[in-house]
């Protein structure tokens, strides 16, 4: 535990992750924040378009049969990049309820009334 200065000028205790303190388990299935998801997809798209540009430059500079491989990569990469960028946020499987339904006791056996 470490001490931290509180807003009202008093001291309060703040939990730290030192020594043998156990890690707190998460009880939520909250998805990744939207900003982080968009940033991750934009970086992946930028990297793929950079590879496409390298394929074009390589196709111009190389005078070999690999030129056709580089051109094929430059043609196919935009499709793959758009599909991956538009994949969007995946919805996780969240159960309808976290509670089990209570079981009712059995009905008494006897003559009907």
- Report pTM: 0.52
Residue 72 binned pLDDT confidence (cut-offs 50, 70, 90): very high
Burial class (CB in 10 A: 0-12, 13-18, 19+), 108: exposed
- Sign for the pseudo-dihedral over CA of 67, 70, 75, 76: positive
Residue 51 confidence (pLDDT): 94
Tell me the average pLDDT across 39-49.
90
Does residue 24 carry a pLDDT above 50? yes
Q: Give percent of the chain above pLDDT 70.
A: 63
């Amino acid at each position: 535990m470490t001490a931290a200065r509180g807003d009202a000028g008093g001291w309060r205790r703040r939990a730290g992750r030192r020594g043998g303190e156990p890690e707190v388990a998460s009880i939520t299935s909250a998805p990744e924040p939207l900003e982080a998801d968009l940033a991750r997809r934009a970086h992946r798209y930028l990297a793929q378009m950079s590879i496409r540009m390298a394929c074009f430059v390589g196709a111009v500079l190389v005078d070999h049969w690999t030129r056709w491989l580089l051109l094929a990569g430059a043609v196919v990469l935009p499709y793959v990049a758009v599909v991956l960028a538009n994949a969007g946020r995946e919805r996780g499987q969240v159960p309808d309820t976290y509670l089990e339904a209570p079981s009712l006791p059995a009905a008494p056996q006897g003559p009907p009334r």
